[in-house]
Structures are given as structure tokens and as C-alpha cells.
Homo-oligomer: A and B are copies of this chain.
């Protein structure tokens, strides 16, 4: 019952992009430095985020990756689900006849309640809000200013 490493990295990518001026595109090499995710794994994460239409890829000079939609409308839950599919704390939570016992199993209701609790927390955290916090935090910790330096290095604001 743990998010995948890919989800964790996708969240880093999304918060980083959300921390930049609107419309910024970032090369993968710069993204790798800012998020501390190595190139090969980062490629896979970026591809998945593009497929989920959370970011867009732009080729050519000045190209890179950019948010596909305003960061305020994208939640932590959206990012996790883009990487892992719908959050289902137990198989029985899926719609349809996923478990014959679910109509009368007392645990089913608890799984559903726990899932609602987690999706509520993750769904309430927007990328814009987290990026705003990240900026404040990295200003306080001058040895961890990767988000801030990223904003001035290797990106193309439009």
C-alpha cells in the first residue's frame, strides 16, 4: 500500500513545472537536475505525464516540457492516478463484480471509507498550492534552492 517511485517522481516534475512562470518549457536535462531524477527513469515518467495530458512536449529549439493545463486545476490525486490508474485501496472497491463478497462483507465499507479519506486529502492538494509552498521553503533553505535556480536556468518562458 505505497505509491510507486514513478508517482513520486511525477509529483516532483509537476510541482517543479508549476513553480515556474506560466508557459515555461523546460528541457529534460534541466528537469533531471531540478527533480533529482535520472534521465532514463525521468523519460518514462515524462512520457506517461504527456499521455495523461498533464504536460505537453514541444520539439525543436526552445522546446521541452510544459504544463498542459493551469497548475491550480491539477491535484496530487490527478498526478498519482495518471501514473497508477484509479486509486483502489482494495480490489473490491472497483466497480462491477470485483468480489462476490462485497455486498455483505463488513470490511468492504471500511476499505471504501479509507479510500475516500485518502482521495480527499490528495485531491485537495493542487500543484499550484504545492509549488507556492516549495518556493517559500527553498527560499528559507539556501542550500536547497534547486526549484528557484531551476526557474532561472535552462527554461524558456514565453
Contact = CB atoms under 8 A, between A and B. Distances in A.
Contacts of A15: 106-107
A153 interface: no
Contacts of A4: 1
Interface residues of A, number: 45
Interface string A50-69: 00000000000000000000
Interface string A86-98: 0111111000000
A130 B117 contact: no
A125 B110 CA distance: 7
A36 B101 contact: yes
Contacts of A91: 2, 5, 8
Interface of A: 1-5, 8, 11-12, 15, 36, 76, 80, 84, 87-92, 101, 103-107, 110-111, 113-114, 117-118, 120-122, 125, 129-131, 133-134, 137-138, 140-141, 144
